[in-house]
Amino acid sequence: MTAHAGGTITLMMVGDLILDEPQPDSFFETCKATLMAADVAIGHVEVPHTLRGTEQSTDVPAPPANPAHLATLQRVGFHIATLAGNHIADSGPNGIEDTIETLQSLGIQTTGAGMSLGAARQPAVATQKGIRVGVLSYNCVGPKDSWATSKKAGCAYVKVLTHYELDHASPGGPPTIYTFPAPESVEQMEADIAQLKKQCDVTVVVMHKGVGHTPAKIEMYERAVAKAAIDTGADVVIGHHAHIMRGIEVYKGKPIYHGLGNFVCVTRALSISDNDSPERLAWAKRREKLFGFSPDPKMPTYPFHPESRNTAIAVCKANAQGLVEFGLIPCYIDGQARPTPLTREAGGQKVIDYIKDISDRAGLKTRFEWADSHWVRIQASH
C-alpha cells in the first residue's frame, strides 16, 4: 500500500470462523503469513467453544467446538473476535462464558456477546502505533433466543422486521418482501457507535446479516442499517452470516463489505451422510432445496455452497485521522478448506471478477482496481 506521512496501521478483517475439526492450525497454513502482517486482525467466531454447555432449543443449533481450538487464532495473529451471531447462544450461558473467557485469556479481545446485554454492547478496542481501533458487533438475523437482555446472557443485536405484501390478485401467490430495522434498535446501535467514536480514531461495526447462501442480493434492511452506522460515525462496516461472499459498496467514502463469507469454516455439523442431529440433518437437506446447491462431496469438512470458496480479506489502512485507503486481498478456499491469498498473476483476478459480478447484480456501483499484485483497491463508481 501507499506510504503516508505519520503513523499508519493496517487492519485486516475476515468473515466466519468455525474451528470444529482437529488440528485447526493446519487450515491457516496458506494465510498465516498474510494475517500476521496486520496491525489489527479481526474475525467472527461463529459457534460457542465449550466443554460444558447444554444444546439449546434455538433455530438450528450448532454443536460447540473445543475451546482449545481458539488458541489457533492467537497463533495466526488475531487481535479481536466478534461474537454477535445466530449461533453464539446455542450452548446456553456456559457456552458464551467459556468462549469469551478462553479468547480473552489468549489476549484476544471480544465484543458482541456477554452475560448481559450491557456486556454484549461493550466494544473491543485495540491500540497500535498510538492509533485506537474500536469494534462493535451486532446480530441482525436472530433468533430471539440468542439475544441478550439485562439479566440474560446472549448477543447484541439489531431487530429487523419483515413485511410480506401481496400486491396482485392471487391469494397465496409470491409476495413482495420488505425488511426494516426496528427504529428503537437502530437508535441503540447508533448510541453505541457515537460513544465509541469519541474514544477511537477508527470505528469498525460488524454485522451478522443477510440471507444465507445468496451472493447477489442485498436485503432492504442491510443497506439501511449499514448506512445508519456510517452516518453515526463508523469508518468501516463488515458483514457476514450468509456463508458466501457478497457485494461491496462505498458510501460517503467509507466501505461496506456486505458479506465476507467464509474464511476458515470446518465442520461436519451439516453432513447429510453422517449426522447425529435430526435438526441439523433436516436443515442440511432443506437448504439444498431452498438455495439450489450441493456441497462438494470431496470436502466433507466444508459443507457449503461451492461458490463460497471465493472469499477475501478486507484490508483498510488508517492513521489518527481515520481511513486512508481500503480494499481487499482475494482468496480462494482450496481442496483442504484452507483460505489461500491469491496474487493478480496467480488466480486473483478470477475471484475479483466474481466479487465485481455479485456487486453489480446487487446494484452496487463499485470499482475494483489492483493497487499492486497482492491487493485490490475499492472505490465508488459513478
Q: Per-residue pLDDT averaged across 13-39, rounded?
A: 98
Q: Which domain holds residue 127?
A: 9-380
Q: Per-residue pLDDT averaged across 315-338, rounded?
A: 97
pLDDT at position 260 over 50: yes
User: Grid coordinates standing for 338?
Assistant: 484452507
Q: Per-residue pLDDT averaged across 292-313, rounded?
A: 94
Query: Which residue would you say has higher pLDDT here, 189 or 55?
Result: 189
pLDDT at position 27 over 50: yes
Report the distance separating Cα 174 and Cα 185, nearest Å.
29
Asked whether residue 363 is assigned to any structural domain, the reply reads yes
Tens-place pLDDT, residues 88-141: 999 999 999 999 999 999 999 999 999 999 999 999 999 999 999 999 999 999
Asked whether residue 3 is assigned to any structural domain, the reply reads no
Which backbone phi and psi does 39 adopt, to 5 degrees? -75, -35
Q: Per-residue pLDDT averaged across 234-256, rounded?
A: 98
How many independent structural domains does the chain possess? 1
pLDDT of residue 57: 65
Closest listed residue to residue 220, CA positions, set 179, 175, 259: 179
How many C-beta neighbours within 10 Å does residue 125 have? 16
Instruction: Tell me the pLDDT of the chain averaged across its residues.
Output: 94
pLDDT of residue 4: 40
pLDDT of residue 274: 74
What does the chain come to in residues? Answer: 382
Asked whether residue 1 is assigned to any structural domain, the reply reads no
* Beta bridge partner(s), residue 239: 207
pLDDT of residue 1: 38
Tens-place pLDDT, residues 178-207: 999 999 999 999 999 999 999 999 999 999
The sign of the torsion formed by the CA atoms of 167, 168, 170, 176 equals negative
Asked whether residue 204 is assigned to any structural domain, the reply reads yes
**Is there a contact between 228 and 340 (Cβ–Cβ < 8 Å)?**
no
Asked whether residue 210 is assigned to any structural domain, the reply reads yes
Give the DSSP H/E element, type plus range, for residue 178: strand 176-181
Asked whether residue 2 is assigned to any structural domain, the reply reads no
Q: Per-residue pLDDT averaged across 242-249, rounded?
A: 98
Whichever domain contains 16, its CATH number is 3.60.21.10
pLDDT confidence bin for 5, thresholds 50/70/90: very low
The contacts of residue 262 (CB under 8 Å, 6+ apart) are 15, 16, 243, 244, 304, 308, 311, 333, 339
Q: What percentage of the chain carries pLDDT values higher than 70? A: 98
Q: What percentage of the chain carries pLDDT values higher than 90? A: 86
pLDDT confidence bin for 283, thresholds 50/70/90: confident
Q: Per-residue pLDDT averaged across 273-281, rounded?
A: 80
User: Grid coordinates standing for 171?
Assistant: 391469494
Residue with cell 458464551: 96
In Å, how far are 13, 119, 128, 300, 304 from 157, measured between CA atoms? 20, 12, 28, 32, 25
SS (H, E, C) 349-360: HHHHHHHHHHHH
pLDDT confidence bin for 2, thresholds 50/70/90: very low
Of 78-92, 265-279, 283-297, the poorest mean pLDDT is in 265-279
Asked whether residue 70 is assigned to any structural domain, the reply reads yes
